[in-house]
A and B are shown apart, each in its own frame.
Chain A
Amino acid sequence: MPAPDIRCGRLGEGDYARNFADAHPPLTPVQALIEAERCYYCHDAPCVTACPTGIDIPSFVRRIGEDNLRGAARAILDANIFGGMCARVCPTEVLCEQACVRNTNEDKPVEIGLLQRRATDAYFAAPGAPLFRRGDATGKRIAVVGAGPAGLSCAHRAAMLGHEVTVFEARPKPGGLNEYGLATYKTVDGFAQKEIDWLLSIGGIEMRYGQAIGEQTTLGALSDRHDAVFLGLGLGGVNALGLASERAAGVDDAVAFIAGLRQASDVAAVPVGRRVVVIGGGMTAVDAAVQSRLLGAEEVTIVYRRDEARMPASGDEVEWAQKNGVTIRTWSVLESLENEGRAIAGATFAQVAEVAGKLEATGRRWRIAADTVLKAIGQTLVLADPLLATLVLRAGRIAVDAEGRTSLPGVWAGGDCTFGGQDLTVEAVEHGKIAAHSIDRAFGMVRTGPAFSRVRRAA
């Protein structure tokens, strides 16, 4: 058996730049114009209904077609302050683009995601005068826990409403999964941080890093010192395989692998195995697998316990993995890992079949040699604080109502830490926005203009 082969620098120098360049390059201005003109400007457009943040898609698309890129960006960012990142990471094929009426006759929706990218890229290239202004000070103070999409969306909207916001973030940088959880080729050129710098430029949002709840601060302390608390905790833990051998060298969390790669100043310095097995079927599995290939791994295999159609990653993501040379094996559950010394050498999977909705072993097994096994079998909520631990949960996540209110008075929550979503960035943004308005109403603020009436989607 060959010795474990985990190392960096598997590729030539130019290969790294090429492999980690923008995975889906933006439309050229001409392409965007032609694509924008395909939009029918539907009444009560199905794409808008399909967008978790309710972006007025026909409006922004028509504005692109009318050379009003700033107006297009405004329409997007009004509804979704992370419209730039969402243009890059939204699984549009199961959201807005799936609802496009063009699918009926042509099977080819308007490329809404790419058009959103066109509008937001053009805007962020030269933002000019601010699109959003901090509201007149209300004197109310909100603590936001977690500087991910949910927390920052809540913070921004709260600032627009005139509240004073302090964001408590455990990590040294803001962004949450936008910064640590996305494949490098999805957000190149430091876009995630640029977007957040812009978001924070509204003012009225104080950022405090290295502030983990349960360590540097507590929910109780935050509640005491603020008029409201919003929890955008994300999912801090990862599911384990439940095997003793998973501590062997070469077994790692896909989440950590992705974060390490994103934070690396030089991707060429990130080590990768020659033969990588990724266990799981979600976006994290795909991101880890594809990036392993792009780092030069020779064989990368995603192993999922059910069929391809039921992988939580979207069809486009799965296809993207296959296009990048990732092998996908289904109907298999990890049975054991083989060690060679302290390092991993291979894995054995039990083949399963679905019997009356449950997976049952067929008795057949298969073995694969591997020097790296990446676990991508889901993340878990961590409630590292006595008061946090009293929150009512649902299916392992924080239970909230349609406005994002938790079981604790004065405490709201949103994003992946709450029950009822599909762990999408765009949902987290919406949760934060809805909670900010709910908090505003709870403060008894009287607002003129059209009432904000959006609520979280029922699970």
Chain B
Amino acid sequence: MADLRTTFAGIASPNPFWLASAPPTDKETNVVRAFEAGWGGVVWKTLGEAGPPIVNVNGPRYAALYAQDRRLIGFNNIELITDRPLETNLAEIARVKRAWPDRAVVVSIMVPCEEQAWRAILPMVEDTGCDGVELNFGCPHGMSERGMGSAVGQVPEYIEMVTRWCKQITRLPVIVKLTPNVADIKPPALAAHRGGADAVSLINTVNSVMGVDLDALLIDPHTGATGSHGGYCGPAVKPIALHMVAEIARTQAMAGLPISGIGGISTWKDAAEFVALGAGNVQICTAAMTYGFKIIDELCSGLSEYMDAKGFERIEAFRGRAVRSIVDWNALDLNRIEKALIDQSLCIGCGRCHVVCEDTSHQAITATKDGQRHFEVIDAECVGCNLCVSVCPVPECITMHALQPGQIDTRTGRIVDGGYANWTTHPNNPARVTA
């Protein structure tokens, strides 16, 4: 059996699945239920300064984007940080950590960008006996209007400054949670690294408006007659998160910086993908908010079976293994020629591959053969774009196959030579480098 235990930024947990700082980790009741269900750790929902807590709207805070059969694939929220008194949260955190010593309890914090504010809260948090802190520089709604959350995460200098304060103030591991609402994730991540962060976690939610109520012609959902943009998450944001995690993982200047992967993780496969791209553990929220805490069973089962099948004893055995496969576009092999192939024994004849290729791509799939409905790739037109594979409703029905050296690409008439060549040396590139 694979050993799922992880130590992330010095924090041990029985499995790599933490609940992200969010409604599921807002209070003792929920967190205890999560631990009973088997979650490896939690990042407690973000604490703010002492004093009167923030106030949430008491109308819709969430909204969903659905796929077939109302499967939730995207989720939006306008909840702020915890709306419960600081002391209440601190007392509960202390109790939970004492009762569950083997689980990771990390506390998310968001206070103004003033050193004094951090000096005030960090010792109190440390006193709970928690395992670490996560600096919430990611929340893109509400709190950002007050100069916190993503308003900090969008300014690398602030990230570095606050991270440095925290590292000076507390002995706890400091994880910096990053916002995806930036043009490039590397500068904020580098800033956290420079500031001494023990780890980064990403992504927080993406700025979003979920929709418009077409009867009332109002933002949907709305509280009364108005609504506000929220933070978008769930399965639909996973590709954005994977990209940002990979960007950090493959940047030499941040080599070795632990990454907690967050963003649309719903299944063990999603989690394993984050790990393969360098994440030391993962955080989950939307999937739990969609299905409840029980999914931890399926997450652990799937990951464990996968690791057994692949011979990985620990998470570390495959962590980051896919990072080197991500390169800049100009390093891609332009000599490799692939063609789609339709397995006629699996084809159900829906014709979607044909019509999308015909209408929107390269006219490389037939609709008929000898007067009969028949979908077949025309190699002489196929550029290997993978659109047909993407739209085919039958798994494995259409697959891509590379031409072997010596074979002729009937589209170009060229013989595949098997040598590697990319854009940097391509004759069409005015800025090509010559050997």
Where the two chains meet, the residues of A that have a C-beta atom closer than 8 Å to any C-beta of B are 34, 37-38, 40-46, 101-102, 104-105
Contact = CB atoms under 8 A, between A and B. Distances in A.
B373 A46 contact: yes
Contacts of A43: 350-352, 354-355, 367
A104 B375 CA distance: 15
Given A44-B367, A44-B373, A101-B350, 12 more contacts: A38-B68, A40-B393, A41-B352, A43-B350, A43-B367, A44-B351, A44-B355, A46-B349, A46-B373, A101-B348, A101-B349, A104-B348
Interface string B359-379: 000000001000001000000
A448 B187 CA distance: 62
B69 A40 contact: no
Nearest to B392: A40
Contact of B349 (A37, A38, A41, A104): A104
A227 to B, nearest CB: 40
B68 A42 contact: no
A32 to B, nearest CB: 12
Nearest to B214: A67
B394 interface: yes
A42 B351 contact: yes
Contacts of A105: 348, 394
- What 9 A-B pairs have minimum CB-CB distances, sorted nearest first? A43-B351, A43-B355, A104-B348, A101-B348, A42-B350, A37-B68, A40-B350, A101-B350, A101-B349
Interface string B328-357: 000000000000000000001111101100
Contacts of B354: 43
Nearest to A37: B68
Contacts of A101: 348-350
A37 B367 CA distance: 24
A304 B355 CA distance: 47
Contacts of A34: 69
A101 B350 CA distance: 6
A105 B395 CA distance: 11
Contacts of B393: 40
Nearest to B358: A43
Interface of A is mostly: loop
A40 B350 CA distance: 7
B390 to A, nearest CB: 14
Contacts of B351: 42-45
B76 to A, nearest CB: 20
A45 B348 CA distance: 12
B388 to A, nearest CB: 12
A342 to B, nearest CB: 60
Nearest to A99: B349
A43 B348 CA distance: 12
Contacts, number: 33
Contacts of A45: 351
Given A37-B69, A43-B355, A43-B367, A102 B348 contact: yes
Interface of B: 68-69, 348-352, 354-355, 367, 373, 393-394
Nearest to B367: A44
B74 to A, nearest CB: 17
Contacts of A46: 349, 373
Contacts of B352: 40-43
Nearest to B355: A43
A350 to B, nearest CB: 45
Nearest to B394: A105
Which has the most chain A C-beta neighbours within 10 Å: B69, B348, B352, B367? B348
A46 B373 CA distance: 9
Nearest to A67: B214
- Among B351, B354, B355, B373, chain A packs the most CB atoms within 10 A around the CB of B351
Contacts of B350: 40, 42-43, 101
A43 B360 CA distance: 14
Contacts of A40: 350, 352, 393
Contacts of B394: 105
29 contacts: A34-B69, A37-B68, A37-B69, A38-B68, A40-B350, A40-B352, A40-B393, A41-B352, A42-B349, A42-B350, A42-B351, A42-B352, A43-B350, A43-B351, A43-B352, A43-B354, A43-B355, A44-B351, A44-B355, A44-B367, A45-B351, A46-B349, A46-B373, A101-B348, A101-B349, A101-B350, A102-B348, A104-B348, A104-B349
Contacts of B367: 43-44
Contacts of A42: 349-352
Contacts of B373: 44, 46
A436 B349 CA distance: 34
A102 B348 CA distance: 7
A107 to B, nearest CB: 12
A44 to B, nearest CB: 6
Nearest to B347: A104
Contacts of A38: 68
A34 B68 CA distance: 7
Nearest to B393: A40
A43 B375 CA distance: 11
**Which of B350, B367, B373 has most chain A Cβ within 10 Å?**
B350
A101 B393 CA distance: 11
Nearest to A35: B69
A41 B352 CA distance: 8
Contacts of B69: 34, 37
B345 to A, nearest CB: 10
Nearest to B353: A43
Nearest to A103: B348
Nearest to B359: A43
A105 B348 CA distance: 7
Nearest to A44: B351
A44 B373 CA distance: 9
A37 to B, nearest CB: 4
A101 B348 CA distance: 6
A45 B367 CA distance: 11
B435 to A, nearest CB: 47
Nearest to A49: B373
A233 B394 CA distance: 48
Nearest to A65: B68
B238 to A, nearest CB: 22
Nearest to A46: B349
A451 B355 CA distance: 24
B288 to A, nearest CB: 25
